[in-house]
Amino acid sequence: MSITKEISIRRTFGIISHPDAGKTTLTEKLLLFGGAIQVAGAVKSNKIKKHATSDFMDIERQRGISVATSVMAFNYKGKKINILDTPGHKDFAEDTYRTLTAVDSAIVVIDVAKGVEEQTEKLVGVCKGRSTPMIVFVNKLDREGKDGFSLLDDIEQKLNMKACPLSWPVGMGSDFKGVYNIYEKSLVLFSPHGKQAEEDTMLIEDLSDPILDEKVGKRLADELREEIDTIEEVYPKFDAEAYRKGELNPVFFGSAINNFGVKEMLDCFVEIAPGPLARETEERIVHPEEEKFTGFIFKIHANMDPKHRDRIAFLRICCGVFKRNTNYLHVRNNKKMKFSNPTAFMAAKKSIVEEAFPGDIVGLYDPGNFKIGDALTEGETLHFKGIPSFSPEQFRYIENADPMKSKQLNKGIHQLMEEGVAQLFIKQDNQRKVIGTVGALQFDVIKYRLEHEYGAKCSYEPLNIHKACWLSSEDETAIKDFLSRRRNNIAKDIEDQIVFLAESQWMLKAAQDNHPEVEFHFSSEF
């Protein structure tokens, strides 16, 4: 198959939402349709022992939330689908933000009862900033919730989207009878068995057909006719080009846990979603059709398989063909590398790939060569743009709780920091280690992973810090003067860069006013 054909069949997208909107459940059902799994797992359940395929870390299975992005691939209707299921919890948002640099489109999941929530607003804002095409899936229709038009108002006002309903619910909660597929002019009847059979779908091109009354009852049939009339008058007609530009957002309704309304969205998605898109670098725009291979690392994960202590760098292929056992240039280190066992993913299950194409996500076993944002090319020097790093907002001293395991603790801290889940600072006055994170929940995850993946135990001590600031100046004496005056607040990061740990907003402002020649940066990438 030619590279043009390979590009045309790929769809790489992320699923985003506020926690508990049903994102991971939706991912499971998409995998079910693709034949990638035989039985869907419950994200939270005491009765069902099978857990969600995309939640592969022990702590995720225990807490019932996703704390790391997982990557899964499957084939459906002649297309190769790559799903990136992202954490919804705000404490892990930086993993989600980075992941969104590797996708070409997104599906936004909204809980019918709660409507648009805070984290959804933030994530949609990130996608809009990149003009990422987005489809909305309103979930949990089998429960009572807001009516369809209130939700569309929510989507348009809070998310600043231009909604275009392509399916519409018939009833809700205990009254839920099905979904009318506006895109294909068909009625899909709801049955809560979780197996959507072909006979449950019927073509109804004319809503005045009396069969509609027979199937859903006269009251709901009349409501549906009235609501579809309103939709046709008020909302724009679907335009695939406007969607691909990020200017129009199709909206689907369903119940992921009952596997209902998911197929309609997936069928439409594979037809309309963009294939691999061009990527921006500091040097030029990289187009997927180019012959020579390029890609970038958007995520690193240690111990995906704790038995083998492996560390995997996730590579998004941007153009050309990535081949096993072929030398490629690691741009930052300026050295050639080849990979004997690059892998494709089915969550934690991996298989070796001989070659991969634009849009694909490949896992590279990494002894410590990669950092997030690194580029691999066939020789060209490229630096990919838009991969964010964050200034920590919460800080704690980390202490060794088991002196016999110092080596394991140091190794664990080092590897987890390289994943980008948190940042490590060494205070220069007392050499104590400080962990900085974006959210408090990350401290629990680090502690859990150190114990269960590295056999090391840690404890934390509170530390009052407002901001971590990286320093630069054209005047070396200005930096030296600053360091001598503020020695109690100086640390070094994992790259040996100088960091000022400001205890308060007032202290930061005073430092900036008293040292005008020094620049203060809130990210290590300046």
pLDDT in tens, 132-183: 999 999 999 988 989 899 999 999 999 999 999 999 998 888 888 888 888 8
pLDDT-derived band at 525 (thresholds 50, 70, 90) equals: low
Alpha-helix runs per DSSP H in 102-199 = 118-129, 148-158
pLDDT-derived band at 48 (thresholds 50, 70, 90) equals: very low
CA proximity to 295, closest of 264, 263, 330: 330
Q: Determine the topology of domain 279-377 in CATH.
A: Rossmann fold (3.40.50)
* Predicted local distance difference test score (pLDDT) of residue 26: 87
Interatomic CA distance for residues 213 and 219, integer angstroms: 8
In this prediction, residues 244-249 reach a mean pLDDT of 94
**499-522, pLDDT tens digit by residue?**
999 999 999 999 999 999 999 988
* Predicted local distance difference test score (pLDDT) of residue 94: 65
Residue intervals of the chain classified under CATH 3.30.70.3280 are 394-521
State which CATH number among 3.20.20.10, 3.40.50.720, 3.30.530.20, 3.40.50.300 fits the domain covering 6-70+86-92+104-272: 3.40.50.300
In this prediction, residues 379-405 reach a mean pLDDT of 85
pLDDT-derived band at 461 (thresholds 50, 70, 90) equals: very high
The token pair at 120 is 């959804």
Please determine, for residue 64, whether its predicted confidence score (pLDDT) is greater than 70. no
The phi, psi pair for 492, rounded to 5°, reads -125, 145
The token pair at 155 is 């989507």
Report the DSSP pairing between strands 375-377 and 328-330: antiparallel
Which sign does the torsion angle of CA 120, 124, 126, 127 carry? positive
Residue intervals of the chain classified under CATH 3.40.50.300 are 6-70+86-92+104-272, 279-377
* Predicted local distance difference test score (pLDDT) of residue 500: 94
pLDDT-derived band at 202 (thresholds 50, 70, 90) equals: low
What b-and-e string marks burial along 423-435, b requiring 16 or more CB atoms within 10 Å of the CB? Answer: bbbbbbeeeebbb
* Predicted local distance difference test score (pLDDT) of residue 65: 38
Which sign does the torsion angle of CA 342, 345, 351, 353 carry? negative
Which sign does the torsion angle of CA 69, 73, 74, 80 carry? positive
Please determine, for residue 346, whether its predicted confidence score (pLDDT) is greater than 80. no
The pTM assigned to this predicted structure is 0.77
Identity of the highest mean pLDDT range in 26-35, 307-316, 455-464: 455-464
Q: Tally the C-alpha atoms within 13 A of residue 37's C-alpha that lie toward its C-beta.
A: 22
Q: Determine the topology of domain 394-521 in CATH.
A: Alpha-Beta Plaits (3.30.70)
In this prediction, residues 279-303 reach a mean pLDDT of 90
**328-342, pLDDT tens digit by residue?**
999 999 999 999 989
In this prediction, residues 190-212 reach a mean pLDDT of 64
Interatomic CA distance for residues 117 and 97, integer angstroms: 17
Average pLDDT, the chain: 83
Please determine, for residue 51, whether its predicted confidence score (pLDDT) is greater than 50. no
